[in-house]
Structures are given as C-alpha cells and as structure tokens.
Copies of this chain bind each other. A is one copy, B any other.
Amino acid sequence: MKARIIVTLKTGVLDPQGKAIEGAFKSFGLAGIDGVRQGKYFELDVAEADPAAARAKLTEACEKLLANTVIENYHIDLA
C-alpha cells in the first residue's frame, strides 16, 4: 500500500528556512509571496493490506523517526 507523509512545523515555531526562501523570492524579483513554511514530504510503500494496520505502522514510524513531535506535526495519506 502506497502512503504519503507530510511533516510540518507546528504553528508558532519559527521557520528560518522559510524566511530565507521568502528573502530569495524577493531577490529573484518574485514579489507577493510570503508566509513561506518549509516541511518534509515522504512517499513510501507499506507491506500491509489493511489500511488500519498500515496507518498504525506509519504512525509509529512518524513518532519514532520522521517527525520531532515536540515541534512538528505529521499527516499520513494512504493511497
């Protein structure tokens, strides 16, 4: 089963990388883009036919490895 995971910074956590990208947009003459926040994106295959079991395994993967749950949220999409 294919899955996609998006990990984003929680609201209120500063995102200096996003700020740097905003600055770069301005240097490149792209005005009118702001509020940039960068996150991480993962595509993976889970060897589970049952969506609930797949989601449980991916939740464990996010909690243990992919996301720092102190400052990040994660979102799992099963395809």
Contact B40 A45 (CB under 8 A): no
A45 and B33 alpha carbons, distance in the complex (Å): 6
> Copy number in this complex?
2
A43 touches B35 (CB 8 A): yes
Asked if A71 lies at the interface with its beta carbon under 8 angstroms from chain B, I say no
- Whether A61 contacts B6 in the complex (CB less than 8 A), given A40-B40, A41-B38, A43-B37, comes out as no
Cβ–Cβ contact B33 & A57, under 8 A = yes
Known: A21-B42, A39-B41, A43-B39. A64 touches B33 (CB 8 A): no
Interface residues in A21-79 (C-beta closer than 8 Å to B)? 21, 24-25, 28, 30-48, 57-58, 60-61, 64-66
